[in-house]
Every structure is written in structure tokens, then in C-alpha cells.
């Protein structure tokens, strides 16, 4: 292939933009302070250590922790052991052969801890535990954005001068996208009794903050965007290889009932077997944005999210959209909507999520593996246009990960304005007719 020399500055500009936008993913402009904070409250001292309540709060607006949940790890500073846990468990006991009689729950120098599954006996529970490690995002449900467990630590020192803080925290949630800070001593937490009449205080408290980076989480995007409009019959597909390319054994042929039944029944092969339907884009999730109707003062968009993963039911999914007209959302059908205003002066972004018991689960790939919504936006006369792809989203995130967009030159284009007006008035007429029919 021969490049015209004049193309180089343009190409390198694109490359720079791409590198820059990739790097920028580590910092989430729509949720700049989003983090998961892990707080250790030492509640009491014991003869050889302490009992702490560990509380994980997901302050991220739209990135939740989905099944199979979080795994928290750390490294002890000294020779600490875990005598017992309530509401969680260490995944491995490690070598406790030094102990006679009373055997610790875990003797590993770098324990890894997981939440218990729902339905454990009450005496093994504490508040906010036992949800299989599933934690909602703050924007969706702050009351479900917390996960807690209690840990009894021995051989650790038993005063605020002798305790050494654990080091090197790691959080899988469930992928490896999070990086955690050092534990930092903070003012002891003050607890207020439910009736508000008594205040108690932790003996000692330290915080760890974990932040997400999409690049750490996965090499490729995990979702892509396709586009269409009423004013052009072209459907712009997701870019090819958006989420990696097809190779042998990396995907499941669509409609392949045999493979699907294997995937569905033999759980022991789940970890190795491919679970993504073979497509040009190879993404587990495709988001389709259809500019559906043009009214005089409003316009209407249909959003669909399609699951291509045969092994995942996406519970508590979220969809974040950036579009300049989101400052004027008039109505959203079938999804919950929340503007992401606090951090944006332009009010151009918002989050969509499912309605409980209706569509808060995006089912595994197949006939029911999709969800849909329509929204009506009020046109701002000064900026609204169908030209130059203005009606298409600037960015879309599914479950907090940025989706791959088509290149602007591939967007469905506006044929010409005369044509548009014709279509628009036809559409309007059709809409009026439908409304008339519907009201009968
Ligand atoms: C973590 O998130 C909370 C809530 O948004 C914020 O107040 C806090 O400053 C954040 N912490 C860090 C270290 O970013
Ligand atoms: C340890 O606890 C004592 C008594 O509660 C308190 O006065 C002291 O400031 C604490 N020291 C540290 C390092 O937190
Ligand atoms: C913590 O991690 C750092 C860097 O990964 C490593 O150098 C250090 O040895 C680790 N500390 C412990 C106590 O494992
Ligand atoms: C420690 O974390 C808690 C959230 O669990 C937060 O409310 C508190 O402000 C944090 N403390 C500091 C000093 O960041
Ligand atoms: C796919 O497998 C076939 C035979 O098993 C092999 O010849 C071919 O090179 C493989 N292709 C890729 C892309 O791995
Ligand atoms: C599942 O797959 C494994 C390995 O391929 C095989 O040994 C096992 O018999 C299969 N189990 C069922 C129930 O088909
Ligand atoms: C998804 O949910 C449906 C209905 O609850 C269930 O039958 C199916 O096994 C689930 N799929 C996975 C991969 O968990
Ligand atoms: C739409 O935006 C315009 C200008 O930005 C504003 O005056 C108007 O109140 C907005 N309409 C709605 C429904 O928010
Ligand atoms: C964004 O929304 C907030 C609250 O709805 C409003 O106070 C603010 O004026 C809006 N900003 C812009 C630039 O529209």
C-alpha cells in the first residue's frame, strides 16, 4: 500500500488522538472521584490482636461489581493470622501446622478473601455481607453499594501503637482493573446507635482507596456501538474487530444449538470454552443507537443493547451516554435515567439502568438477550441538527467500560436538507396518524 505523503500528518494526528484517549481512560472524566474505598475499623482489642469490621463502599457512579463478585487480597506486615471471619471467608487456609488445638481460619501471609453467598446461617452474617460479592454502583443504589465482613486477627499487636497496617491490597472485582492505594490511618470512625442516643468510636481506622482503569481490566474494549437513522437506510455496524478478532476456538457460531447446549450444561468446561457469539466485532455487548423520529420541537432515539455472551446474564447493568442534547431529556421509556450532572458543567451525560424485576438483567445471548428503550429529547434550537452526525452519541459506556465507536466518516449521513424536510414531514404525519390511531 502506498501512502500519499500528505496523509501522514493526518494519520499521526489520529494516532495521537487514539493514544491520548486510550491513556485518558485511566481517569474517568464522567466520574473523576469514583473509587472503591475499603475501611478497616478496629472495633476491639483481643489478647493477641483485634477484631475489625472491614467495609467496602463503591463510590463509583455507574460501575458496579457483578457476579462472581469481589476478591480482596493483602499482605500482612508481620506474622498475623486470621482466627475467624464473619460474613466472608479466606479462600485458602495456608500452613497452620505451627498451631495446636485452636487452629486459625487462615495462616497465609497474603490472604485472599471472598464474600459468602446469600443464604448462610444468621450466626455467620453481619450487616451488608453475604451477597456473593455483588455490589451496586453508587448512582444506582447507594444502600446496596456497600459490602462488609468482620475479621479477628491474631499475632498482630493489640494497641494502636503496635498494630502494623496490612500492605499491598489487591481487589479483583471481578476482573483485574483496580489498583489500590496504601492503607492510610484516618480519624477513627464514629458510630451512632440506631436510636441516635449513643455514640461509640472505633479503636483505630484505616482506609484504602482502589481506582479502576479500563486498560488494566482488558486489552480490548468489551462493547461497541452501531448506528442508524430514519434519514438514511445505511446501518453503520460496529467497527470490525472492535473487541479483538476471530480466531479458532475464540467464539461460538451463532445459532449453533449444539454448542449452546454444551455451553449451557457442562459447567466444568465453562472456563475454557468460548462463550462469545462469532461476529465481525467480536464484542460481548453491542449498543445500537437509532435516530428514530423527528418532531417539530422534539426528536426520538431508540437504544438497544444486545448481549452476545452465552455465559453471562448481566445483572444491574448500566449504560452511560454522552450527548450534548441530554441536557434536555424529556422522557425515557423502559429504563431508569439519571443525569451525571455533579461533575459536568455541560450536562451532556447521563446513566441508564434497568427497572427492577423488569429489565435489570440483560439475559445471556439468545432470543431474550437484548433490552431496549426510547427517549425523547427537546431540541435546543441553537444547536440541534441532524447534520454531521450530531444526533449520534459522543461516547457510550456499558457497565463502566467505554465502547468502541464507528469512525465519524462511516456515520449515516444526511442525504440533503430538502430530502430531510420531506422525510421529516412524512415521519411527522406518520406519527400523528399513529397517535390518532392509538388514541382511538
Ligand atoms: C473516593 O470517592 C469519594 C466519593 O466520591 C470521594 O469523596 C473521595 O475523595 C474519593 N477518594 C479518593 C482518594 O479519590
Ligand atoms: C492511641 O490511642 C490513644 C488512646 O485512645 C490515643 O490517645 C492516641 O492518640 C492513639 N495513638 C495513635 C497513634 O492513634
Ligand atoms: C508490595 O508490593 C511491592 C510492589 O509490587 C513489592 O515490592 C513489595 O515487596 C510488596 N510488599 C509485600 C509486603 O509483599
Ligand atoms: C475513609 O473511608 C470512608 C468510607 O468508607 C469515608 O467516609 C471517609 O471519609 C474516609 N476517610 C478519609 C480520611 O478519607
Ligand atoms: C485454525 O485451525 C486450523 C486447523 O486446526 C489451522 O490450520 C489454522 O491455522 C488455525 N487458524 C488460526 C487463525 O488459528
Ligand atoms: C464436562 O466436560 C468434561 C471435560 O470435557 C467431561 O469430562 C465431563 O464428563 C463433562 N460433563 C458432562 C456432564 O457432560
Ligand atoms: C441466566 O438466567 C436464566 C434465567 O434465570 C437462567 O436460566 C440461565 O441459566 C442464566 N444463565 C447463566 C449463564 O447464568
Ligand atoms: C432545553 O434547553 C433549553 C436551552 O438549553 C432550555 O431553555 C429549556 O428549558 C430546556 N428544556 C428542557 C425540557 O429542559
Ligand atoms: C446543569 O444542570 C444543573 C442542574 O440541573 C443546572 O443547575 C445547571 O445550570 C445546568 N448547566 C448547564 C450548563 O446547562
Atom of ligand 9 nearest to the CA of 346: 13
Helices (H), 223-370: 257-265
Does the Cβ of 271 fall within 6 Å of ligand 6? no
What is the tens place of the pLDDT at every residue in 227-257? 999 999 999 999 999 999 988 678 888 766 5
Which of 183, 216, 249 terminates a domain? The answer is 216
Q: Is residue 45 part of a domain?
A: yes
Instruction: Check whether residue 227 and residue 210 sit in a common domain.
Output: no
Domain-embedded: residue 421: yes
Q: What is the pLDDT of residue 257?
A: 53
* Domains in the chain, number: 2
| Helix or strand holding residue 302 (H, E) | strand 298-307
Q: Does the pLDDT of residue 162 top 90, yes or no?
A: yes
Distance of CA 253 from the midpoint of ligand 6 (Å): 21
For residue 111, what is the domain's CATH number? 2.60.40.290
Task: Tell whether 302 and 330 lie within a shared domain.
Answer: yes
Domain enclosing residue 295, as ranges? 219-435
Q: Are residues 45 and 153 in the same domain?
A: yes
The pLDDT of residue 271 is 55
Q: Are the beta carbons of 133 and 65 closer than 8 angstroms?
A: yes
Residue 149 makes CB contacts below 8 A (sequence gap 6+) with 53, 54, 85, 86, 87, 88, 113, 115, 126, 129
Give the pLDDT confidence of 96-113 residue by residue, as tens digits.
999 999 999 999 999 999
Report yes or no on 20 lying in a domain: no
Judge if 126 and 263 occupy the same domain.
no
H or E stretch including 398?
A: strand 395-398
- 123 with 261, same domain: the answer is no
408 and 372 in a common domain: yes
Of 249, 269, 272, 273, the one to substitute when testing ligand 6's pocket (max ligand atoms within 8 A of C-beta) is 269
**Strand pairing of 223-229 and 285-294?**
parallel
Q: Are residues 162 and 236 in the same domain?
A: no
**Ligand minimally distant from the alpha carbon of residue 267:** 6
328 lines ligand 8 (CB under 6 A): yes
Render pLDDT for 403-422 as a digit per residue (tens, 0 to 9): 999 999 999 998 875 444 44
> Domain check: are 85 and 148 in the same one?
yes
Q: Which helix (H) or strand (E) holds 81?
A: strand 81-86
Q: Look at residues 163, 196, 216 and tell me which one is the last residue of a structural domain.
A: 216
User: Domain end: 199, 216, 233, which one?
Assistant: 216
Number of the ligand 1 atom closest to the C-alpha atom of 37: 1
What is the whole-number distance in angstroms between the Cα of residue 342 and the centre of ligand 8? Answer: 18
Considering the domain architecture, whether residues 58 and 180 belong to the same structural domain is answered as yes
pLDDT of 410 reads 93
**Same structural domain for residues 198 and 239?**
no
Is the domain of 170 the same as that of 262?
A: no
How many A from CA of 7 to the centre of ligand 1?
44
Q: Do 173 and 70 form a contact (C-beta atoms < 8 A)?
A: yes
111 CA to centre of ligand 8 in angstroms: 54
CA of 429 to the centre of ligand 8 (A): 25
171 lies in the same domain as 247: no
Ligand 8 near 376 CB (within 6 A): no
Report, as an integer, the average pLDDT of 110-131. 93
CB 152 within 8 Å of CB 163: no
Amino acid at each position: 500500500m502506498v501512502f500519499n505523503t500528505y496523509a501522514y500528518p493526518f494519520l499521526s494526528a489520529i494516532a495521537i488522538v487514539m493514544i491520548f484517549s486510550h491513556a485518558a481512560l485511566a481517569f474517568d472524566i464522567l466520574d473523576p472521584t469514583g473509587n472503591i474505598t475499603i475501611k478497616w475499623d478496629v472495633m476491639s482489642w483481643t489478647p493477641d490482636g483485634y477484631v475489625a469490621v472491614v467495609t467496602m463502599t463503591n463510590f463509583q457512579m455507574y460501575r458496579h461489581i457483578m457476579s462472581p463478585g469481589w476478591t480482596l487480597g493483602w499482605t500482612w506486615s508481620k506474622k498475623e493470622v486470621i482466627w475467624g471471619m464473619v460474613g466472608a471467608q479466606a479462600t485458602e487456609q495456608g500452613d497452620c501446622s505451627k498451631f495446636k488445638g485452636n487452629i486459625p481460619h487462615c495462616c497465609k501471609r497474603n490472604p485472599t478473601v471472598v464474600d459468602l453467598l446469600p443464604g448462610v446461617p444468621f450466626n455467620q452474617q453481619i450487616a451488608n455481607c453475604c451477597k456473593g460479592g455483588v455490589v451496586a454502583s453508587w448512582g444506582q443504589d447507594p444502600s446496596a453499594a456497600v459490602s462488609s465482613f468482620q475479621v479477628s486477627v491474631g499475632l498482630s499487636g493489640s494497641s494502636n501503637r503496635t498494630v502494623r497496617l496490612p500492605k499491598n491490597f489487591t481487589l479483583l472485582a471481578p476482573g483485574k482493573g483496580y489498583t489500590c492505594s496504601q492503607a492510610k490511618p484516618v480519624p477513627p470512625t464514629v458510630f451512632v446507635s440506631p436510636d441516635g442516643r449513643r455514640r461509640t468510636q472505633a479503636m483505630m481506622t484505616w482506609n484504602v482507596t482502589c481506582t479502576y482503569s479500563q486498560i488494566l481490566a482488558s486489552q480490548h474494549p468489551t462493547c461497541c456501538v452501531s448506528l442508524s437513522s430514519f434519514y438514511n437506510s445505511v446501518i453503520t455496524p460496529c467497527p470490525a474487530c472492535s473487541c479483538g478478532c476471530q480466531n479458532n476456538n475464540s467464539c461460538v457460531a451463532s445459532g449453533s444449538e449444539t454448542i449452546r447446549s454444551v455451553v449451557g450444561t457442562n459447567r466444568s468446561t465453562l472456563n475454557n470454552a468460548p462463550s462469545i457469539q462469532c461476529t465481525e466485532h467480536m464484542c460481548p455487548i453491542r449498543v445500537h443507537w437509532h435516530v428514530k423520529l423527528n418532531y417539530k420541537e422534539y426528536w426520538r432515539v431508540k437504544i438497544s443493547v444486545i448481549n452476545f455472551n452465552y455465559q453471562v446474564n448481566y445483572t444491574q447493568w448500566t449504560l452511560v451516554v454522552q450527548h450534548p442534547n441530554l441536557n434536555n431529556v424529556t422522557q425515557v421509556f423502559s429504563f431508569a435515567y439519571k443525569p451525571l450532572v455533579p461533575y459536568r458543567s455541560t450536562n451532556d451525560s447521563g446513566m441508564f439502568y434497568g427497572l427492577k424485576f423488569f429489565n435489570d438483567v440483560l439475559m445471556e445471548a439468545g432470543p431474550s438477550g437484548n433490552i431496549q428503550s426510547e427517549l425523547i429529547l427537546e431540541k435546543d434550537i441553537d444547536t440541534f441538527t441532524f447534520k454531521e452526525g450530531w444526533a449520534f452519541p459522543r461516547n457510550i459506556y456499558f457497565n463502566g467500560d467505554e465502547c468502541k465507536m464507528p469512525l465519524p466518516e462511516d456515520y449515516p449521513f444526511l442525504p440533503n436538507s430538502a430530502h430531510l424536510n420531506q422525510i421529516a414531514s412524512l415521519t411527522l404525519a406518520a406519527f400523528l396518524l399513529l397517535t390518532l390511531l392509538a388514541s382511538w
